[in-house]
């Protein structure tokens, strides 16, 4: 008998790419998202595609029925601009994890994966651009990012206690800035790599010579390409490691350096205009990958340059199509 895998949040960037990857491996998949299927970034022709609001308990019961393993990638989230101005919406995602865990336990699911975030780490550990990589133990004493980060940290604990009290195997990944093609690139929910690709592409197509950068450009981050995210997620799901685990690149760059990379890919050099009052989040963030190497024998390795080349090409095509009034191919 084929075991059923549920992917919650399958209409989103990571969820859609996970469905695609599992589909290649011949998994039986149930893909669930609240958006209409035509708005999903990847629309599988072989999965059972359901449109349900997973904040509702009955929707979670329908979704988990018969599922052996559950990947929870569903959340109301976006880039720093969205997170900063939608704290209540971000926190309401706790209903998804609450009800999905309850339904998974009721239905007898064996394994449950929760996609957490580096936003659980305290801002007092991220106040300098030359920040040390964040270790998993650094999440406590807790001072998570307001709204989104606190929801993720609380949901991590809920996974832990469901495992302790009900025996369901839970796995928690702390993602660090996942990027790649076939995701949000405009409209306010996009993250820095996609936003910069869009701005550079738009400048090139319009013949402009300027780019707006949020903050002073000196803030630092690490960015993980989607293929590394998918591999790390599945390795963790299959593993015996039960505590939260960083899944992120440790290749830290400043936002200015990220712009340098995209400009180099596009073959353009732009004058930079810094929007100092824009949301920028913490001053510096990077992943410490010691634990993932020890536990999984693996770590993200796709270089930022390689990943950004793929991402820029796809976003350039979207921006050009829009500029020419053509439908753009936003989905796989």
216: Cβ contacts below 8 Å, ≥ 6 apart = 274, 276
At residue 261, the pLDDT reads 98
Is 330 a member of any domain? no
Same domain, 163 and 270: no
Whether 43 and 76 share a structural domain:
yes
Residues 111 and 134 in one domain: yes
Where residue 74 sits, what CATH number does that domain have? 3.40.50.720
Count of domains forming the chain? 2
Q: What is the pLDDT of residue 1?
A: 39
Contact 307, 222 (CB under 8 A): no
Whether 107 and 204 map to the same domain: the answer is: no
Lookup result for tokens 């409209």: 187
Q: How far apart are CA 154 and CA 97, in angstroms?
A: 10
Alpha carbons within 13 A on the beta-carbon side of 321: 11
Q: Both 72 and 111 in a single domain?
A: yes
| 332 found inside a domain | no
User: What is the domain range of residue 168?
Assistant: 4-178+224-247
Q: What is the mean pLDDT of each run of 10 residues along the chain (332 residues)?
A: 88 96 97 96 95 98 98 87 87 97 97 98 94 96 95 98 97 97 90 96 96 96 98 98 98 98 98 93 96 98 98 96 82 62
Whole-angstrom Cα distance, residue 40 to residue 11?
4
Q: Are residues 121 and 98 in the same domain?
A: yes
269 in the same domain as 144: no
Q: Which of 41, 148, 312, 316 is catalytic?
A: 148
What pTM does this model have? 0.95
Give the residue among 10, 42, 47 at the shortest CA–CA distance from 25.
47
The CATH number linked to 260 is: 3.90.25.10
Residue 130 included in any domain = yes
pLDDT at 128: 94
Alpha helical stretches, state H, 108-167: 148-166
State whether 55 and 199 are in the same domain.
Answer: no
Virtual torsion, Cα 178, 14, 162, 171, nearest 10 deg:
-60
Are 131 and 276 within one domain? no
51-104 pLDDT, tens digit each: 999 999 999 999 999 999 999 999 987 777 788 888 999 999 999 999 999 999
State yes or no: is 121 an active-site residue. Answer: no
Tokens 């990220």 locate to 258
């Amino acid at each position: 008998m084929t075991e059923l895998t549920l992917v919650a949040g399958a209409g989103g960037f990571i969820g859609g790419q996970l469905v695609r990857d599992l589909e290649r491996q011949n998994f039986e998949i149930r893909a669930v998202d609240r958006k209409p299927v035509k708005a999903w970034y990847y629309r599988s022709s072989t999965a059972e595609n359901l449109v349900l609001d997973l904040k509702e308990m009955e929707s979670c019961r329908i979704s988990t029925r018969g599922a052996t393993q559950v990947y929870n990638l569903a959340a109301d989230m976006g880039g720093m601009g969205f997170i900063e101005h939608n704290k209540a919406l971000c926190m309401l995602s706790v209903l998804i994890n609450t009800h999905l865990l309850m339904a998974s336990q009721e239905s007898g699911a064996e394994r449950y994966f929760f996609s957490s975030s580096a936003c659980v780490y305290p801002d007092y550990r991220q106040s300098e651009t030359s920040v040390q990589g964040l270790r998993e133990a650094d999440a406590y004493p807790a001072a998570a990012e307001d709204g989104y980060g606190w929801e993720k940290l609380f949901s991590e604990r809920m996974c832990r206690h469901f495992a302790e009290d009900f025996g369901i195997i839970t796995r928690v990944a702390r993602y660090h800035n996942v990027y790649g093609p076939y995701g949000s690139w405009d409209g306010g929910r996009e993250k820095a790599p996609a936003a910069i690709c869009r701005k550079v592409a738009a400048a090139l197509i319009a013949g402009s010579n300027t780019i707006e950068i949020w903050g002073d450009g000196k803030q630092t981050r690490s960015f993980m390409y989607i293929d590394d995210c998918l591999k790390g997620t599945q390795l963790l799901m299959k593993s015996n490691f039960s505590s939260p685990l960083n899944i992120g690149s440790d290749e830290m760059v400043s936002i200015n350096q990220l712009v340098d990379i995209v400009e180099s890919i596009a073959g353009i050099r732009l004058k930079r205009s810094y929007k100092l009052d824009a949301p920028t989040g913490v001053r510096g963030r990077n992943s410490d990958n010691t634990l993932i190497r020890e536990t999984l024998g693996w770590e993200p390795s796709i270089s930022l340059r390689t990943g950004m080349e793929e991402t820029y090409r796809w976003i350039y095509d979207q921006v050009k199509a829009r500029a020419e009034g053509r439908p753009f191919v936003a989905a796989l």
